[in-house]
Amino acid sequence: MVEIKQLAAGFQVCGATFDEVFHSRFKATMAAHAVALGDATASGRPVAIILPSDWGDTILVEPGRVAPRAVSADTLGAARG
């Protein structure tokens, strides 16, 4: 779970491995999405973003695809024998 809290100092984004305050609602929202996507991809399960009550409903972020590792021509040649 990732949560955005509205504080006098700005917008706090809290997650399992992340805790930072932003002065912009936009930056806080983008950070929350990035943290949630990273957590969801690492765990393989959806992660909720809890928003302040007047911002709307909870957002559920699904795991992303893990990009395939780059393979060099040398690696391909060695694999082919």
pTM of the predicted model as reported, rounded to 2 decimal places: 0.77
Phi first, then psi: what are they for 3, rounded to 5°? -130, 140
Is 60 buried (19+), middle (13-18) or exposed (0-12) by CB count in 10 A?
exposed
Measured distance CA(22)–CA(28) in Å, rounded:
6
Place of tokens 């393989």: 44
Q: What is the mean pLDDT of the chain?
A: 86
Compute CA 16 distance to the chain's CA centroid, rounded to the nearest angstrom: 11
Quick one: pLDDT band at residue 66, thresholds 50, 70, 90? low
